[in-house]
Structures are given as structure tokens and as C-alpha cells.
Amino acid sequence: MGEREPEQIDFDEELRRYARADPFVPFDLLTASGDRYEIRESLQFAMGYNAVVLVLPKTGIQVVRKNQITAIHVHEPV
């Protein structure tokens, strides 16, 4: 029996998929420092080459390096 190769995941493509979902489903970004950023609508999120830019209601604009994002938690659709 042949061994199956592990699935390769393209992190940028996964982020884009969540950010552009239609209908949009809120998600949280978790970082290596333990910060959690809630993304409630697509206009709060923009991707650059090495970082993402978040527009947050309470704290304003936050730039997060992609290599510091450790998890994406997708909320259940309402």
C-alpha cells in the first residue's frame, strides 16, 4: 500500500477564502503573543504580502505579521 502525502495548505489562500466568503462568516485571528482579533465583517480585513491590516472598532488599525498568526477560529454561521 502506498503512503498518502500530507495535505498541503496554502495559508494565504485560506485567509483570502475566509475574508472573501459570501456570505461572510466572522472569524478570529489568534497570534503567537496570545492576542485574539475578532473580524466581524470583510471590510475590517486587508492582506498585504507579509502582514494583514485589521480595522478594529475599539483600538483602530492594527498591523499583524502573517508569520505571527497561529490560528484562525471561524464562528458558526448564524
Instruction: Give the tens place of pLDDT for each residue, 43-56.
Output: 999 999 999 999 99
Task: Write out pLDDT tens, residues 1-14.
Answer: 567 776 677 888 88
pLDDT of amino acid 71: 92
Would you say residue 74 has pLDDT above 70?
Answer: yes
The full set of domains in the chain, from first to last, is 11-74 (2.30.30.100)
Grid coordinates 498518502 are at which residue?
Answer: 4
Predicted local distance difference test score (pLDDT) of residue 2: 60
> At a CB cut-off of 8 Å and minimum separation 6, what does 29 contact?
36, 37, 39, 52, 54, 64, 69, 71, 72
Beta bridge partners of 74: 27
Helix (H, G, I), strand (E, B) or coil at 12: helix
pTM metric for this prediction: 0.81
Q: How far apart are CA 78 and CA 76, in angstroms?
A: 6
- Per-residue pLDDT, 1: 54
